[in-house]
Amino acid sequence: MITGKICLPTGKTKIVGVFGYPIKHSLSPAMHNSAFKHCNLDFIYIPFEVKPDNLKDAIKSLIALNINGINLTIPHKEACLPYLDEIKREAKLIGAVNTIEVIRPRKLGTPKLIGHNTDSLGFIRSLKEFNINLRDKTVLILGAGGAAKAVCFACVLNGIKEIYIVNRTLKKADILAENLKNKTNFKNIFSIPLEDTHLKNILEKTNLFVNATSVGMKKNDPLIVPVDYLNKKTIVYDLIYNPDRTKLLKFAKKKGCFTINGESMLVHQGALSYEIWTKKNAPVEVMRKALRKALNG
Ligand code: ATR
């Protein structure tokens, strides 16, 4: 890498990046390129706009173009599975891959594409940052989409007591609950609709409340659960990072709850991808600072 004010790649520079559609607003290039620069690693992280119809060819091109690894974001996290050689346990459980590692044999042999999912462990690492342990906790997850799935598996694999999946579309919560039960053998999983009358009682006993829906991203989004029943001892985690304080977090803070936003999980899932590709510890604080700058800039 030729350094100076601008870093230019050379023939020796290792290439990583992200495939997504759309991709223009991805914050990952800022996070990773700052980390590489800080650690003096000759890597570059490039965002690639890959339309769904081109995903298969794009994944094949990782080998042809000698790319070292790639992140996958919307809408490719599940669609990529058939094109990989090996899928790690967490990714297999979640049914989604957000990081591909390209392993090239030192001498002869064909390169292999390994699929990882760093969202789940990213969530756990973000909790560790705040000294939060999931053991024996009652967890309420709001939402049943991709983000909720990664958080649910993280919770179930880390010793929680019980988990309530609350979703607008009950069928999706039911499917996620069944999937979790079948794949993990953990049975204390309950799916309930948003308007369930028991929600008040569940909120009162919840230790960790996670918003894994997109509700809260827009200024006028409503509070979709009866948050008046939140216990002040409940930790309220909103996976949304923009805005940094959603209506839910503001309300919870006023109530006296400990609150966390989505920035930390985003940084840690990125840090884990960095570690998979470079085999070195990620400079988490550098990545966090770059993320904040990209968000505000
Ligand atoms: P992601 O991959 O980011 O989790 P997703 O798979 O589209 O995104 O899931 C979005 C989640 O937000 C879903 O649980 C969705 O509820 P439905 O399953 O009923 O669609 C939830 N969600 C989005 N908008 C919502 C709204 N206005 N009210 C309640 N829930 C909403």
Q: Is any atom of ligand 1 closer than 6 Å to the C-beta of 252? A: no
Whether residue 213 contacts residue 144, with contact meaning beta carbons closer than 8 Å, is answered with no
Distance (Å, whole) CA 291 – CA 67: 24
pLDDT tens figures, 98-148: 999 999 988 888 899 999 999 999 999 999 999 999 999 999 999 999 999
Q: Render pLDDT for 60-99 as a digit per residue (tens, 0 to 9).
A: 999 999 999 999 999 999 999 999 999 999 999 999 999 9
CA of residue 169 to ligand 1 center, whole Å = 9
Range 180-187, long-range pairs (CB < 8 A, 24+ positions):
180/152, 180/153, 180/156, 183/93, 184/93, 184/153, 184/156, 184/157, 186/156
Whole-number percent of the chain with pLDDT over 70: 98
Q: What is the pLDDT of residue 88?
A: 97
Alpha helices in the chain (DSSP H): 28-38, 55-64, 89-94, 119-129, 146-156, 170-184, 199-205, 247-255, 263-278, 284-296
Give the Cα separation of 282 and 40 in Å (integer): 12
Picking from 244, 152, 241, 232, the residue whose alpha carbon sits closest to that of residue 190 is 152
Give the Cα separation of 9 and 237 in Å (integer).
Answer: 39
Q: Is 144 in the pocket of ligand 1 (CB under 6 A)?
A: yes
User: Which pLDDT does position 109 carry in this prediction?
Assistant: 86
Please tell me the predicted confidence (pLDDT) of residue 8. Answer: 86
Quote the DSSP letter at residue 8. B
What is the torsional sign of CA 261, 196, 93, 20?
A: negative
What amino acid occupies position 29? Answer: P
User: pLDDT tens, 168-184?
Assistant: 999 999 999 999 999 99
The predicted structure's pLDDT at residue 190: 98
pLDDT (mean) for 37-66: 97
191 Cα: distance to centroid of ligand 1 (angstroms): 15
List C-alpha distances in Å: 271 to 102, 187, 283: 17, 32, 8
Cβ of 170 closer than 6 Å to ligand 1, yes or no, is no
Catalytic residues: 77
Residue 278 Cα to ligand 1 middle (Å): 34
Beta-carbon count within 10 A of 109 CB: 9
Give the residue, out of 214, 217, 225, with the most ligand 1 atoms within 8 A of its beta carbon, to mutate for a pocket test. 214
Atom of ligand 1 nearest to the CA of 172: 18
Q: From CA 185, how far away is CA 294, in angstroms rounded?
A: 41
What does pTM read for this prediction? Answer: 0.94
**212 CA distance to ligand 1 middle (Å):** 8
- State the closest ligand 1 atom to the C-alpha of 239, by its place in the atom list counted from 1: 3
Q: Report the alpha-carbon distance of residue 276 to residue 270 in Å, rounded.
A: 10
What is the residue with the minimal CA distance to atom 11 of ligand 1? 213
Task: Count Cα neighbours of 167 within 13 Å in the Cβ-side half-sphere.
Answer: 22
Q: Is the pLDDT of residue 198 over 70?
A: yes
Atom 6 of ligand 1 has which residue's CA nearest to it? Answer: 145
Residue 108 has a pLDDT of: 83
For ligand 1, mutation pick of 76, 168, 191, 227 (most atoms within 8 Å of CB): 168
Distance 168 CA to ligand 1 centre (A): 8
Are 240 and 264 in contact by the 8 Å Cβ rule? The answer is no
Residue 4: what pLDDT? 52
Mean pLDDT of all residues in 210-231: 95
Mean pLDDT of the chain: 95
Strands 138-142 and 162-167: parallel
> Which of 142, 151, 260 lies closest to 202 in space, CA to CA?
142
pLDDT at 12: 96
